[in-house]
Each structure stands twice: as C-alpha cells, then as structure tokens.
Structure 1
C-alpha cells in the first residue's frame, strides 16, 4: 500500500508544473541554429521586447504539445504584446538530426536553436524539459516555469502581460 501511494505521489510530482519569478541577467550563450550556424542567445533577444524561451526535445511528448499550443497563441500574443518566441532543443548529438525535420513538418516560424551540450542548463537551472523562461526587455531572466500541463500557455500569457505592463 505504501509503495502504491509513493508511486502515485511521485507520478503526480513528475507531471506537475510550477513557475517562479526571478531576476537574473541573461549571459552570452553560444548555440547552433538549425542551419548549423553559431549564434549568441543574448544577441537574439531583442531589446525592448519580451522573449519567451521554450526548452524542449524531440523525445518529449509534453514539450511537443507545449510548442503546438504556444504556436497557436503566438500571433494573438504578438498583436497584444511586444513578444517573441525562441525554442531551444536540448536533444543530444544522437537525436539533434530529428529537430529540423520535426520543426519543418510542423511549419513553425519561430527561431529554433540547438543546445546539444546543454550549455543553457547552468544558466536556467532546469531539471529537465519541458521548461520555459521569460526574458524581459532589459535582457533579464524574470520568470521560469518547470513542466507543462495542458493550459499552462494561459499562465504564460498572464506572465507576459504582467511583464509587459499591460
């Protein structure tokens, strides 16, 4: 009985999502584009705009669902707020070749970067994916969110609205 309770509790924790506000400068982090060009994440974040970063992987079903649901809301968000989206795949070298075909197949228009060595992990301190972060207009990491359950995109919009002061 205790074992069943423990497994149930552990499963519940694994599929729980939570967010927190922070205030940390975004450092320079070199990542690869889908065309294998090196780019600095800090330079991709535009001044005077809010940027949502979604960390994901091709093997992560909740990650794919989050990308799909956020993509559906992105045009509406852009009409209301000065916001951009960047997706960062943490697929390792064995799986990174699956990222571009997946993104192209979905028709996503937002930038997607590759973090094969998980160089972003020490900066954002994510335990696993899905994980999202919001960078404010001053290039500060101001909000992080671990996990994804259906509907979290509405909380993400609430945070964007608050950060943008709307």
Structure 2
C-alpha cells in the first residue's frame, strides 16, 4: 500500500522491524480517531525505542486532508492509504467496520490483540515491552 509520499510499503517488512506493531485504522474526518491520537502519539514516543512500531492505515479519500492530519497530530510513524475510504484494501482484508480500530501483531505478522484503545492499549504494550532485562525482583 502506498505511504504518504506515494512509495509502496510492505507491511510484512514493517512488522519484521519491530517486536510488536500496532496497525491503527483511522481517518482524518473521524472525531474519535482524532481524540485517541494524543494517547497513541505518547505511547509511541514512550515505547518506540523498546520495539514498538505503528502503521497508520487511513480510510481517507483526500490526500491533503490525510497529510494535514498526520502533520497536525505529530504522527511520525509509517502512514499508509490507498485513498479508497471504506474500500481500503487492508480494512476489507481485516473486516474493519468501525474506526478507530487497532490490531496488534508480532514481528511475524501474527495477530496478538485487537480492538484496544486508550489505557487498555498502553497497558498491553507496557506488558509486552515495558520490562527490558532483569529487575532486582526477578533475580
């Protein structure tokens, strides 16, 4: 699927770069998506160096509105869209019927969780990536 610059991106290649990847289905015109975005930005910034990747899949139809939203909301992760709205190929493949919607996959693309938002999403990511190495209590 094309990224925001028009380059084709393989999601499986993106998955392989991270321990876990959140696939975030959203759109610039979706109020609940925009409300959720500051939480996702914070979570990304907190965990990107620990193995978190995010792929935004926009259900927008107009590139300018999509690009403006990405810039305005500081969404610095990979952004994809075929600009087909609800006919987006990834949304159809995953059976997405409402947004915002997240699917969390491991580095092989295996789905390990879905439908998490807000604190539930952050807690899940922290449980998978928050503890690196051994702590004193684990010794």
In structure 1, the residue corresponding to 2:55 is in which secondary structure? strand
Residue in 2 that maps onto 1:12: none
TM-score normalised to structure 1 length = 0.67
Equivalent of 2:53, from 84, 91, 95? 84
Number of residue pairs the alignment of both structures matches: 128
In structure 2, the residue corresponding to 1:120 is in which secondary structure? helix
Residue in 2 that maps onto 1:98: 65
Structure having the larger proportion of residues in strand? 1
Residue in 2 that maps onto 1:51: 21
TM-score normalised to structure 2 length = 0.78
1:52 positional shift: 0.8
Residues 1-166 of structure 1: pairs in structure 2 closer than 5 A: 31-47=1-17, 49-78=19-48, 81-92=50-61, 95-117=62-84, 118-145=88-115, 152-164=117-129, 166=131
Note the residue ranges of structure 2 that are not aligned, 5 or more in a row.
132-139
Instruction: Give the number of the structure whose alpha-carbon radius of gyration is greater.
Output: 1
Across the aligned residues of Structure 1 and Structure 2, the Cα RMSD in angstroms comes to: 2.2
From the superposition, tell whether residues 48 and 88 of structure 1 become closer, same or farther in structure 2 (CA, over 3 Å).
closer
